[in-house]
Amino acid sequence: MRITLRVIGIGPGNARQITLEAIDALTDVDVFLVLDKGGDKDSLAALRRDILDRHASPNHRVIEIVDPPRDRDPADYDAEVRRWHAARAAVFGDALRAEVPDSGVAAFLVWGDPALYDSTLRIVDDLTEHSDLDLDVEVIPGVTSASALTAAHRIAANRIGEPIHITTGRRLADTPHGADTNQIVMLDGDLAFRRTADPDDHIWWGAYVGTDDEILVSGRVGDVADRIARLRSEARERIGWIMDIYLLRKP
């Protein structure tokens, strides 16, 4: 069974930030595979529907797949994530066999870009290596939340000749000295910068970047940390979910 499988980056939340290449890739997809994580975010689901209504074939189908459970506080984080990814690969493989015709086209829609802190490509690699499916994989890049953040704040991600370190809130405290000049931090539900940054470090923070709900704050960490925490908490309560990112820079 041969299937073309596309992994399509659709940007961080603004329907106008989808690329022309992504639009072209949507037009002849037979089946879109979508993870149902339980209580799907209404506004994100609406954006996804809007993108498909505008650009996908009128005959496309959307198959929702229940996301396998995951231990959010495991003793061995890496092992649990690998187990979870293998479980995802198994349910995706079942869906591809059941729902996609031979020589058909299936696709995953990935928020932001498939290469930046997203598991889809690893799961596709697992499918390619361990399943009986003959997959022709195509990857379409998307606008990243990092580039949307710097554009929203009208800044460059680094100063002249300086490196950029991209990490997560969980690993922020592990950043080596010298790599912390310019840090782009994702997936930081605990606002780890409040524990790791110096008061004089500068932060450019954004939530729902590029959408109608966008919130932007910048300034010295010592001046704006409490404001960011308050705004983040209020927004999560009001909207029901939050996606945020920030750039942290040494003075």
What's the pLDDT at 39?
52
Which of 145, 78, 76 shows the shortest CA–CA distance to 110?
145
Neighbours of 231 (CB within 10 A): 18
Residue bearing the bigger pLDDT, 36 or 212: 212
By CB neighbour count within 10 A (0-12 exposed, 13-18 middle, 19+ buried), where does 249 fall? Answer: buried
Please give the mean pLDDT across all residues of the chain: 93
pLDDT greater than 60 at residue 232: yes
Residue 29 phi, psi (nearest 5): -75, 130
pLDDT for residue 220 is more than 70: yes
Asked if residue 22 lies in contact with residue 10, where contact means CB atoms within 8 angstroms, the answer is yes
pLDDT at 38: 55
> What is the tens place of the pLDDT at every residue in 169-196?
999 999 999 999 999 999 999 999 999 9
What's the helix, strand, coil split of the chain in %, to 5? 40, 25, 35
State mean pLDDT over 5-13: 95
Mean pLDDT to the nearest integer, 215-237: 97
Whether 123 and 5 have beta carbons less than 8 Å apart is answered as: no
Give the CATH fold of the 145-249 domain: 3.30.950
Q: Are strands 2-9 and 105-110 parallel, antiparallel or unpaired?
A: parallel
Q: Which residue in this structure is represented by tokens 């290449």?
A: 21
Domain ranges of the chain: 2-140, 145-249
Find out whether 208 and 232 touch, Cβ atoms under 8 Å. no
- Structural class in CATH, domain 2-140: alpha beta
C-beta neighbour count of 155 within 10 angstroms: 15
Percent pLDDT > 90 in the chain is 80
Tell me the per-residue pLDDT of 130-180, one tens digit each, with 9 for 90 and over: 889 999 999 999 999 999 999 999 999 999 999 999 999 999 999 999 999
Question: pLDDT tens digit string along 19-73?
Answer: 999 999 999 999 999 987 655 567 778 888 889 999 999 999 999 998 898 888 8
Residues in contact with 198: Cβ distance below 8 Å, sequence separation at least 6, in sequence order: 221, 250
